[in-house]
Amino acid sequence: MRKIIFITIVAFLSTFCANAQGTDTTSVHKETLPFGKPCGDAHSIPKIEHSINVGVGIGASSPIPIPNRISEMSWAPHPCGILGYRLRYTLNSNLGLKTGLQLQHVGMSAKAKVYQMFTQATVEDAEVSGYFTGYNETKINATYLSVPLLFSYKIIGTDWGFDAGVFVALKIQGHFGGAVKDGYIRIDTPTGDRAEVGYETFNFSKELNPFNFGLLFSAEREISQHWSGWLDLSWALTPTLKDTFQGLEYKMYNIYGFFGISYNL
């Protein structure tokens, strides 16, 4: 995974730097510019465009696919938001490169009935690990500082543009905790000693992955000269919890969508 991330970043930066040797404007010989702006036979558009983005979101940290040991599942989103800056470098009338810096907060709650799910919990003031059958409650909140690396495409004659690429993020803070209740846990193995569980808590916050990497897709529509509306979908390829963590038998991934407005500087 680290090799893939490194190659992706190097390819993006190489493309960006190779095209940064041009002048500050690009001539476009079209009757219509991107985002439906009419012009004459030739028109100069900025090489570099800047925008400030703000938005809200919804999503979940989820195993892919959902294990068959989980049933009766319910999910509730927490308030999610994003604030960021993006820069677009023009390659030609259609294509460009985008990057930036954004602060992103995500979160959710989930409840489910589980059958022999391996976990760690505090039972009668003792830390135990084993296979739990009963009800599980999980709450997740995390804040990330994220850098998108995107290829951008504007559709000539329309107000629409689309982006696709990856994001790299560092966790600033986070919480991953919850409780198991109304069930029992088999200590260490599926047939181990049985301990009744009324209501016991767990906290895996220290096991949150400090690094996040994944795919990012975006659509944008210009509303006016300075304002645009946009929609993002981010799908993490690195797990929410550290690879070394053994407290859950399946991996979870951040999958979140955001929508909002941007001010084009």
Distance CA 63, CA 78 (A): 18
For 228-234, what is the mean pLDDT?
97
Maximum Cα–Cα distance across the chain: 81
The overall pTM is greater than 0.85? no
Q: Give the pLDDT of residue 52.
A: 97
pLDDT in tens, 98-109: 999 999 999 999
CATH class of 2-264: mainly beta
Does residue 44 carry a pLDDT above 70? Answer: no
Phi-psi region of 13 (alpha: psi -120 to 50; beta: other; left: phi over 0): alpha
The pLDDT, as a whole number, for residue 22 is 47
pLDDT at 246: 84
- 101-142 pLDDT, tens digit each: 999 999 999 999 999 998 887 666 777 889 999 999 999 999
At residue 30 the predicted structure's pLDDT band, cuts being 50, 70 and 90, is very low
Report the DSSP pairing between strands 70-77 and 95-123.
Answer: antiparallel
